[in-house]
Chains A and B, each alone.
Chain A
Amino acid sequence: MPRPDPRGRAGAPALFFLLLLLLAAVPSEAADTVTVDVGAVYASNEGTSIDPTLGMIRGKLRSMFNYTSYRMLDRKRRSLSVGETGEFELPDRRSMRATPLPARGDKVRLSIRISEGPRNLLTTTLGLRRGGMVLVGGPPHQSGVLILIISAE
């Protein structure tokens, strides 16, 4: 009795796994790309709520600052190649420009520029490990301040 040709059925999973491998390779595609994650947090003394989306940072914020309320206003994430500048809009017509710079190993170097209209609030160059995080705070927002959570992967 003739059997069904197994090649067609065997080929489908093989191609499926190839596609999975291709997709899995995307994040590590390279070391040349840096995923910059910027969260804008409104810190104030209005209320005592702490946004659960802040994850493990909630405890850190409480132990570092004297504010009673932390609320995530916005969060943006962008993958940037080395030398490519990504612009992140921030509350109150502020913006942040991030440019990954050449780095070695699992290090990431980021050139950060935060501006408010034509005013340059901050220009800095950060060196951090992939998965690392830094906070930039201080710009006033409503009755509190803005704290930016900047992480790079």
Chain B
Amino acid sequence: MDCRTALEKIETKGDGLLPREEAAELAGHLAGCPACASEDAAISATGPALRALTGIRAMEMAPALDAMWTRVRAGVEEGREARLRPSWIARWAWIPAAVALAVLALLFYPAGTDRSPFHPSTFDVAVEDVESDVATVALVDKGEDLPRVIWIIEDAKT
């Protein structure tokens, strides 16, 4: 391994990305090359220093970040509550509509016409009285499973 290749691998190692096999090969080169070993020592020391610096900066910024996050969270909650709590008018507006619908149904129910086919449940009918001013009336009963018939015979017309 030449020094140029070794320097590239030293940087890669500093980033923590050097494969184990190449690290062993690099270690062999560093053992015989004081210049590269010095470079390796410097770069190896830089990483922890940068991490420490980043930690310090993060600690310095933590209160400000916390405050900012608190404001963001409060804003999010406020918006959510506003969406979940519509005005009482919007919340109950459907009630008058439903009541109006029910009233309409009640009003029109008796006059509603049902065009479904006839399905009588019984043909049990008692004819209490029957009369006609202009016709002869016959009462026809052909059994319980057939409807009773009142037949109007109009002066031989029928």
Contact = CB atoms under 8 A, between A and B. Distances in A.
A126 B126 contact: yes
A52 B115 CA distance: 11
B47 to A, nearest CB: 41
Interface in B136-158: 137, 140, 142, 146-154, 157-158
Nearest to A7: B91
Interface size class of chain B, counting residues whose CB lies under 8 Å from the partner chain: 35 or more
A128 B135 CA distance: 24
Nearest to B120: A133
Nearest to B129: A125
A12 B90 CA distance: 13
Given A19-B102, A138-B158, A124 B77 contact: no
Specify the main secondary structure of chain A where it touches its partner.
Answer: strand
Contacts, number: 167
A129 B87 CA distance: 53
Contact of A124 (B98, B112, B131): B131
12 contacts: A8-B91, A19-B101, A23-B106, A57-B120, A57-B147, A78-B111, A125-B127, A125-B129, A127-B125, A134-B123, A134-B149, A149-B118
Interface of B: 77, 81, 84-85, 91, 94-95, 98-99, 101-102, 105-106, 109-135, 137, 140, 142, 146-154, 157-158
